[in-house]
Amino acid sequence: MNILGISAFFHDSAACLVKDGVLVAAAQEERFTRKKHDEGLPLNAMAYCLHAGKVDPGGIDVLVFYDKPVTKFTRIIRTFAHVAPKGFETFRLAVPSWISQKLWVPAEISRGLGKIGFSDPDKFMYTEHHVSHAASAFFPSPFQSAAVLTVDGVGEWATTAISAGHGNTIKILEEIHFPHSLGLLYSAFTYFCGFKVNSGEYKLMGLAPYGEPKYADAIRENLVDIKEDGSFRLNMDYFNFLGGLTMTNNNFARLFGGPPRKPESLITRREMDLASSIQLVAEEMMLRMADRAKRITGERNLCLAGGVALNCVANGKLLRSNIFEKIWIQPASGDAGGALGAAMYAAFHIFGEKRVTDGGKDMMRGAYLGPEFPADTIEEFLKQRGYPFRKFPGREEWAREIAALLADGKIIGLHQGRMEYGPRSLGNRSIIGDPRNPRMQSVMNLKIKYRESFRPFAPSCLRETASEYFDLETESPYMLLVAPVKEDRRFKVERRHTENLIEWVNDRRSDLPAVTHVDYSARIQTVDREVNPNYHLIISAFKALTGCGVIVNTSFNVRGEPIVCTPEDAYRCFMRSDIDHLVLENFILDKNSQPKFEDTTDWRSEFVLD
């Protein structure tokens, strides 16, 4: 049975194909259209998944949309009724697209399928938003039975849900409803600190260790009433998102001593302290909610999804709290993952496909579910364009060359195998570097990624030697857990009180300075030989050469650009930035020997800053 899951029309559109209960392919539309967080119908992603699954033009059995649009529209209408006469601006912007497109999902999708040469599915279905998230967390997990916690901005009504998964079924037990939302609370601070909602939350999390949680009490006392059992309600006197175009209002600004920070302006101590404070409160809430999930399900395992599950700092604390024995987090926890959850929910829960788990490996295939480009295609591309390259027939030699370049301080764009599904690059569409270089973080941020200097980079390490570098007892294949750098690798650095983040960044905090955040934490990716043998080979070669089994891994893109998909995307990004070498499968390109790159567009204006 071919089941196509789709998430679309809000942000991070994606498609996913599940064939006879097996996850075959999944991809986000932004990677194809090159429009970050593309919300349109994911025609390219749909076409890719269907072709990857060798589905006949009339072979889609079931198409599942990841939420219930009419219920979502009802929530929006009911919200307007609560805030009128305020809210007209939002109404004006939102309602036309609802009337003309979002309410007619089957017609839109049917038209889209026609464009890519496929017939309508035999069945069209919808799952609830949080059911999609919960299904994306539980069904691919290695657990036969688990509690599931899904936390995001909002779906139809639910913003938070606790579910129980058993075998091939899942059910929601308890919910928190809109407008009370941890995701929206975190986004409100993201907005207030001058970052973009729906993408800047990651920056806020990265900024948090620079600050002190001075405002945590103010948040608890004024903004959110948190119960012992993790349930909560927001005090809407401080928020503007019900009827306005901003997340916060004047009361919020008064509480935190002034107006919101303007985007791209100087980050002050206030923003650092606000980030630290909301991060602390969010972690407390997550821990309490997890405790509640444990109590009402009695499970030993926890699965996480929803946008808030991308908060890897909170995830790390949750892991170390030992509330649950094991935790598994969906790597595409945001709305893109809804496509996967919707397809899996239909496959397992509705159509009863058999779900086999062994408690060890998950079903995500390392999240390498996107398109790949064979070596002969790449060679043809390079020759056709006249781009000089070196070809390495054997991967051992190839890995040794890459390791040598890394050890020489070079920054490498790595494009190999299937593209990752979800927001993290996991070694197939990555920029990699030497973590021992103390200037690597600021160089990569400012010269390669063109992004804020304070943002930390993640380490990729061999699964088998991760514990030599980090206090992490479990694997973290999707870079969704934060753990401290080993005590014996740290260097003592006095805590700074300056607002100059470059000074902070350049402090050498461990023998892996490029991946050690100011609080000695690191967002770790453990690389499994079986799941990504080539990437494992590179890190192994680097370890053999330098004695260091860790490399820096960041997504292969510049700020505001979607992660690269094709070899052409990779080459373009390589030439536009200060990346020294580009690896396309078993070909290595040196920037110095490339012909002058004629950029046809002003790429700095091509991508909207995130």
Using the minimum distance from each CB to another protein, give the nearer residue, 92 or 492: 92
Residues 381 to 400 in contact with another protein, rule: CB under 8 A? none
Least Å from the CB of residue 233 to another protein: 5
Residue from 172, 218, 363, 446 that binds another protein (CB under 8 A)? Answer: 172
Name the one range near another protein by CB under 8 A: 249-257, 264-272, 344-352, 401-409. 344-352
**Residue 255 found at the interface with another protein (CB under 8 A):** no
Least Å from the CB of residue 248 to another protein: 16
Closest CA to 428 of 566, 548, 310: 566
* Binding pattern for the stretch 265-294 against another protein, x by CB under 8 A and - elsewhere: ---------------------------x--
**Residue 119 found at the interface with another protein (CB under 8 A):** no
Strands (E), 437-541: 458-462, 481-484, 521-527
Contact in structure between 528 and 364 (CB atoms under 8 Å): no
Q: Which residue has the tokens 């035999």?
A: 122
* Structure token pair of residue 135: 């299904």
Residue from 33, 144, 145, 235 that binds another protein (CB under 8 A)? Answer: 235
Beta-carbon contacts of residue 120 (< 8 Å; ≥ 6 apart):
60, 110, 113
Contact in structure between 534 and 586 (CB atoms under 8 Å): no
Q: How far is CA 379 from CA 373, 375, 400, in A?
A: 10, 6, 21
Cis before residue 179, ω within 30 degrees of 0?
yes
**Residue 107 found at the interface with another protein (CB under 8 A):** yes
Closest CA to 307 of 283, 336, 284: 336
**Residue 88 found at the interface with another protein (CB under 8 A):** yes
Residue from 176, 205, 524, 563 that binds another protein (CB under 8 A)? Answer: 176
Residue from 7, 28, 44, 127 that binds another protein (CB under 8 A)? Answer: 127
Least Å from the CB of residue 581 to another protein: 49
Angstrom distance (rounded) from CA 222 to CA 432: 43
Using the minimum distance from each CB to another protein, give the nearer residue, 10 or 368: 10
Residue from 146, 274, 346, 378 that binds another protein (CB under 8 A)? Answer: 346
Residues 64 to 83 in contact with another protein, rule: CB under 8 A? 64-65, 68-71, 73-74, 77-83
- The 3-state secondary structure of 183-214 reads HHHHHHHHHHCCCCCCCCHHHHHHHHHHCCCC
Angstrom distance (rounded) from CA 297 to CA 164: 6
Total residues interacting with another protein, rule: CB under 8 A: 65
Q: Which residue has the tokens 């009911």?
A: 78
Contact in structure between 39 and 10 (CB atoms under 8 Å): yes
Residue from 14, 25, 26, 105 that binds another protein (CB under 8 A)? Answer: 105
Name the one range near another protein by CB under 8 A: 235-243, 431-439, 552-560, 578-586. 235-243
Using the minimum distance from each CB to another protein, give the nearer residue, 227 or 385: 227
Using the minimum distance from each CB to another protein, give the nearer residue, 156 or 420: 156
Closest CA to 61 of 99, 21, 95: 21
**Residue 174 found at the interface with another protein (CB under 8 A):** yes
**Residue 103 found at the interface with another protein (CB under 8 A):** yes
Angstrom distance (rounded) from CA 417 to CA 371: 8
Task: Note the residues at the interface with another protein (CB under 8 A).
Answer: 64-65, 68-71, 73-74, 77-85, 87-88, 91-92, 95-96, 99-101, 103-107, 110, 123-128, 131, 156-157, 162, 171-180, 225, 227, 229, 231-233, 235-236, 242, 292, 346, 349-350
